[in-house]
Amino acid sequence: MTILQCIENEKDLSPEQKDVIKDFFKSICSLEKEEVKVFCEANYIYLKQKAHEYAKELFDQRELFISAFEVFISDKFSKERKGKYFSIQNINNSTENKVKLLKYLQGKGKSRQEIAEHFDVTVSILDSRIAELKSPTNHILGYKVSV
């Protein structure tokens, strides 16, 4: 079954989700020629990288794309390759991550571990994000931010 046929036959995707998935695959391969299971399994790392790049370029449709992609690929990979590789948190751009972190830090005092768990990152990644926020050269949308 080709990628296009597979997208069209996917019952768990809305028409909007099908459109965003088609647009993604059009950007990386031929929808009408590629065999979906063969393409996905053979190009696993490439597909993962391109999905992340594509999602980062989106703004309004980012969450739509990620949710559709999760549904679409759920049965395309072998069992050992399945997993949540395309979470929203991993794809948001740096500015979005900074704003979300600042908003979260405005609440009651929380431990570094609690904050890291909330954002589904390691404590060391959280520390680097906080260090970036504390940097004298840090700006968000042109505004100087201090933590």
Burial code of 78-116, b = ≥16 C-beta within 10 A, e = fewer?
Answer: eeeeeeebbeeeebbeeebbbeebeeeeeeeeeeeeebb
The pLDDT of residue 83 is 53
Quote the pLDDT of residue 20.
92
One pLDDT digit (tens) per residue for the chain, 147 residues = 888 888 899 888 999 999 999 999 988 888 778 787 777 777 777 887 888 888 877 767 877 888 788 778 776 765 555 554 555 555 556 777 788 888 888 877 889 999 888 877 788 888 888 888 888 877 776 777 777
Q: Is 125 helix (H, G, I), strand (E, B) or coil?
A: helix
